[in-house]
Amino acid sequence: MSTHHSESVECRNSWIIAALALGVLAVGFGAPLVVAVGLKPIQLALHSDRSVIALAGALTWVGSGIGGVLMGWIADRIGIRLTTSLGAVMTATGLAVSASGSVGALYVGHFLLIGLLGNGALYAPLLIYVSRWFDRRRGSALALIASGQYLSGIIWPAVLQTSMHRLGWQMTMLWFGAVTAALILPVTLFCFRPAPEPVHRVNQVIAASQRRIFGLPPNLVQSMLCAAVFFCCVPMSLPNSHLVAYCSDLGLAPVRGATMLSVLLSCAFISRQFWGWVGDRIGGLHAVICGSAAQALATAGFLLTQSEAGLFAVAAAFGLGFSGIVPSYILAIRELYPSNEASWRVPLMLLFGMSGMAFGSWFAGALYDHFGAYAPAFGAGLAFNLANLAVLGSLVFRNIMNRTSVAAPV
């Protein structure tokens, strides 16, 4: 029997909260894009290797992953308003520190301030907060707000590229930091009220009843999922961090590369809603495999074309494929584990995913510095993607075999 509307916590305010959270993330995720868009001019200004600057973006992902685990715990104690307000202030401060003009400041600003204390205080806490406003369409709501990164990619790259051309990368960081605080703080301070109490409380002791998943220990399956999300996020980071610089190396105008990045993330934003629909019907684990396979094909496409039209097509295909992967991992964990364990299992999975994004961003820069081209980086990314499919495939195989053994007559 379906839950009646009168017995649900969902209401009109639930979708207002989700929309506001989406807006906050769309602004907050713009901060790491400054380095992605300005990778080449920042490299030239600081007289360093490309991998050195790309590491700043990588550190942001690592900091966000670690911060998500920490800030999710803190938000349960001091509230979502103070936690997300801290995230806005720290993100703005991190951009100001990064603009001071040294590699060390760039690293501190991105890892500690923009990452750990900034986006770390926004992303995971908001996912948990919004999930408490929904009990009937929670998957759709989470797919929506998890698209904040892509909405940010639609809005900001061309704006940032134009600003860097006119004002330089340091002034761009400063004004974007001010915009971040001005747009996010009014929402976090005045709009994020406490989440409603659940209508039906779930017995928190049910976690102890589940001992095996696919015939394996639950923590082993969690470890395999963490390894898989790391492997698939390595190739996922390549276009997100290096596409603008790659296009510039091919002789395309930087604004074309920024537009291409916006196209990629626009397709990702649109298709994420589709992948949420798919996951509800075939399950999170199967949706991850489908998205990962699509990402592998698009990654191979970057190795096969260097024309502007071809790269636009591949970028769009990449966005359509990879966008549903991380939400599908979250869905898989919610399907496989008791709800009272999600508060630490989901942030742990996100930590490994963001670490993969960090490693992939840095590793691509390091390979470029060594070979002077991006083809080896895309080739390595494809290898990581295939490793991801191997891990996920083994879990699906175990699931099929486990079901077969249960269904077989004794």
Name the residue ranges covered by the structural domains of the chain: 8-195, 210-410
DSSP-assigned states of every residue in 22-41 = HHHHHHHTHHHHHHHHTHHH
> What values do phi and psi take at 202, rounded to 5?
-95, 140
Which band of pLDDT confidence, cut at 50, 70 and 90, is reported for residue 346?
confident
Task: Tell me the two tokens of residue 81.
Answer: 């308003």
pLDDT of 365 reads 85
Look at 172-176, 283-287, 406-410 and tell me which has the smallest mean pLDDT.
406-410
Which band of pLDDT confidence, cut at 50, 70 and 90, is reported for residue 200?
low
pLDDT of 324 reads 81
> CA-CA distance, 377 to 381, in Å (whole number)?
6
Which band of pLDDT confidence, cut at 50, 70 and 90, is reported for residue 23?
very high
pLDDT tens-digit readout, 79-89: 899 999 999 99
pLDDT tens-digit readout, 69-112: 888 888 888 989 999 999 999 999 999 999 998 899 999 999 99
In Å, how far from its chain's centre is CA 69? 14
> CA-CA distance, 272 to 265, in Å (whole number)?
10
Mean pLDDT of the chain: 85
CB 362 within 8 A of CB 181: no
Asked whether the predicted pLDDT for residue 113 surpasses 50, the reply is: yes
Asked whether the predicted pLDDT for residue 6 surpasses 60, the reply is: no
Say whether 210-410 and 8-195 share the same fold: yes
DSSP-assigned states of every residue in 282-348 = H-HHHHHHHHHHHHHHHHHHHHH--SHHHHHHHHHHHHHHHTTHHHHHHHHHHHHS-GGGHHHHHHH
- CA angle 93/99/104 to nearest 5° reads 90
**What are the angstrom distances between the C-alpha of 358 and each of 110, 253, 320, 344?**
12, 26, 21, 21
In three-state secondary structure terms, 367 is helix
38: Cβ contacts below 8 Å, ≥ 6 apart: 160, 164, 169, 172
Q: What is the mean predicted confidence (pLDDT) over 105-129?
A: 92
- Class for domain 8-195, per CATH? mainly alpha
Look at 93-107, 171-185, 266-280, 350-364 and tell me which has the smallest mean pLDDT.
266-280
pLDDT of 204 reads 42
Q: Which among 205, 199, 268, 231 has a CA at the least distance from the CA of 389?
A: 231
> What's the full length of the chain, in residues?
410
Partnered with residue 213 across adjacent β-strands are 216
Q: What is the mean predicted confidence (pLDDT) over 327-343?
A: 78
pLDDT of 81 reads 95
Which band of pLDDT confidence, cut at 50, 70 and 90, is reported for residue 289?
very high
pLDDT tens-digit readout, 227-286: 999 999 999 988 877 888 888 888 888 788 888 888 888 888 888 888 878 887 788 899
282: Cβ contacts below 8 Å, ≥ 6 apart: 290
pLDDT tens-digit readout, 202-212: 444 344 444 68
Amino acid at 314: V
Q: What is the mean predicted confidence (pLDDT) over 365-386?
A: 92
Classify domain 210-410 at the CATH superfamily level.
MFS general substrate transporter like domains (1.20.1250.20)
Asked whether the predicted pLDDT for residue 340 surpasses 70, the reply is: no
pLDDT of 171 reads 96
Which band of pLDDT confidence, cut at 50, 70 and 90, is reported for residue 51?
confident
pLDDT of 177 reads 96
Which band of pLDDT confidence, cut at 50, 70 and 90, is reported for residue 404?
low
